[in-house]
Structure 1
Amino acid sequence: MTGFHKDEFDDWVAELSCGHFQHVRHNPPWQNRPWVEKLETRNEMLGHLLNCKKCDEGAPPDQKV
């Protein structure tokens, strides 16, 4: 993960080094990512690998709107 931004619904999105974006919601019990709630803990996740589902599908890179 190289950065984060919020989408139009105010959900957090990880920016990946491959050029794709992936939602990183904290929505227990389905998605448990409490680190996304605070700037400090999001920054600690920078550089961590996140499996890119879009790369697995061969999708082109995303673009910020």
Structure 2
Amino acid sequence: MKQAIIAYHQDDESHWVAELECGHFQHVRHKPPWVNRPWVISPQGRAQMLGYQLNCKKCDIKAPKDI
């Protein structure tokens, strides 16, 4: 199910995590060539992606909110 990014935080290993409107968290790593998300590495890039919808697999399985 598609859910919009509403905020970000970093985990204990300093990886960026998107906070989704549904209350779930999802890592948004930039690890080429497998995951290409260069927007994650700058504050401006992350700000531009607020509102962007990611596929939330936790919603698909009706998992409890992370927040």
**TM-score bin (small chain):** over 0.9
- Give the TM-score normalised by structure 2: 0.90
Pick 1 or 2: higher relative contact order, CA cutoff 8 A, min separation 6.
Answer: 2
Task: State TM-score, norm by structure 1.
Answer: 0.93
Give the superposed CA RMSD: 0.6
Equivalent pairs counted in the alignment come to 63
Q: Any idea what the Cα deviations from partners look like across 1:10-65, whole Å, max 9, x if unmatched?
A: 100000000000000001111110000000010000011111011011100003xx
More strand as a share of residues? 2
Gaps of 5+ in 2: none
Spell out structure 1 runs of 4+ moving beyond 3 A: none
Which residue of structure 1 aligns with residue 45 of structure 2? Answer: 41
Identity of aligned residues (%): 60
Match of 1:50 in 2: 54
